[in-house]
Amino acid sequence: MPTETLGVGVGVGVIGAGNISMTYMRNAALFGNVRLVACADMSADTATRRAAEYGVRALTVDALLADPEVDLVLNLTVPAAHVDVTLAALSAGKHVFTEKPLATTAADGRRLVAEARARGRLLGSAPDTFLGAAGRRARRLIDEGAIGKPVAGTAFMFGRGMEHWHPNPQFYYQPGGGPLFDMGPYYLTMLVNLLGPVARVQALAGKGQDERLITADGPFKDTTFSVGTPTTILSLLEFASGAMVSFGTSWDVFRHTPPPIELHGTEGSLRLPDPDTFGGTVSLSARGEPWVDHASEGQLYGAQNWPFDAPDRANYRMLGVSDLVRALQEGRAPRASGDLALHVLEVMEAIMTAADTRAAVPVPGGTARPPLLGEDEAQSLLAPAAREATRAIV
């Protein structure tokens, strides 16, 4: 990559201009080493509208891949298109950061990781939420031995699904989707970041409904669609470290009370907030003492930080892209790497296989925990304006 490009921020081209693109494109301004230059979508009108909103060029996919100003492709297409778009971008000589999941099958995920390695390109993947203030605080507490040796835990993502807010929710309920493949990466990535790789899984899966009614405003409101994948999956995860975690995902639940993630060790217990966000409160109970809150309030990329003011909704998507760009400069792997995303994908596929076979399924390979993102390094990724704003708070 030319050094002059690094000096002014790596040129990023967005492929997929749907709902999630607005968050990424808005947040790009927070980070000093990325520079949005173009966007593309299968709908030219959608690409044109999004480009106008964020002051970039609207291109066709082929033109974006051929554009010398685009150094890195941000793949925000639907899961079924992740493999084709990522392969095309790698073939065009671009680095890639893709939305989760890395692919819809582990075989395709392994193909993407191998292709990036063969071409000398960096491959990163969402979620990057584990790099937020809450994830960093939990990781430090684990690494410092606050709960001793992790022994057991629970992780639950329960809700009612997407059709009440998303105008086109059908794809969420087809193979490669469902609560496990859509929301599971947030939970599994956080768990792997804290506990290391998963070695073996067991699971059960089923569907609460064969059809769903769309109630969100849009062209499909008040229509139904068929559900093509399990919507409740309950699993047991055995980590290579020996820790055991009960992990459940469901879109068949109206209300629930368990915390998103709770980990228990030989010296205490740890509670984590929703891993789909970057902030929130981490709570520690040392040897049975009352819970002590370690709020990410006032921490970088957490609660009360400009331009977001809610600890349970802190959203800094693009942080993983910025870390990937820093990895280019430093000659290292990105923290939200393709290897990490591949391991999570292999865990999810093993869960589905275990549910089908009713047998314990080993998870191949494994991955090293990514290095902890330190507070000073996190601060250094911000653009000057965002850095000054957070300094006034931290």
Structural domains of the chain sorted by starting position, each given as residue range(s) with its CATH number in brackets:
3-125 (3.40.50.720), 130-314+336-362 (3.30.360.10)
In this prediction, residues 287-308 reach a mean pLDDT of 64
Percent of the chain with pLDDT over 70: 91
Q: 352-365: buried (b, 16+ CB within 10 Å) or exposed (e) per residue?
A: bebbeeeeebebee
User: Is the Cα dihedral 46, 105, 182, 118 positive or negative?
Assistant: negative
Helix and strand totals (H; E) in the chain: 12, 17
Sequence-separated (6 or more) residues with CB below 8 Å from residue 172: 161, 162, 166, 178, 182
| pLDDT at position 339 | 98
Taking Cα atoms as reference points, which of 308, 309, 337, 306 lies closest to residue 323?
Answer: 337
CA distance 269 to 263: 6
Give the 3-state secondary structure of residue 57.
Answer: strand
Give 27-82 pLDDT, tens digit per residue: 999 999 999 999 999 999 999 999 999 999 999 999 999 999 999 999 999 888 99
Segment holding 75, helix H or strand E: strand 72-75
Phi, psi of 108 (to 5 degrees): -65, -35
Inter-helix orientation angle 178-195/133-143, to 10°: 40
User: Which residue shows structure tokens 């582990």?
Assistant: 106
pTM, two decimals, is 0.92
pLDDT band at 305 (very low <50, low <70, confident <90, very high): very low
| pLDDT at position 1 | 41
**∠ CA 343-173-261 to the nearest 5 degrees?**
50
User: Is the Cα dihedral 348, 352, 354, 355 positive or negative?
Assistant: positive
Give 78-103 pLDDT, tens digit per residue: 888 999 999 999 999 999 999 999 99
| pLDDT at position 314 | 72
User: Kind of pairing, strands 261-265 and 198-206?
Assistant: unpaired
**∠ CA 32-35-38 to the nearest 5 degrees?**
165
Percent of the chain with pLDDT over 90: 80
12 neighbors 33 (Cβ within 8 angstroms) = no
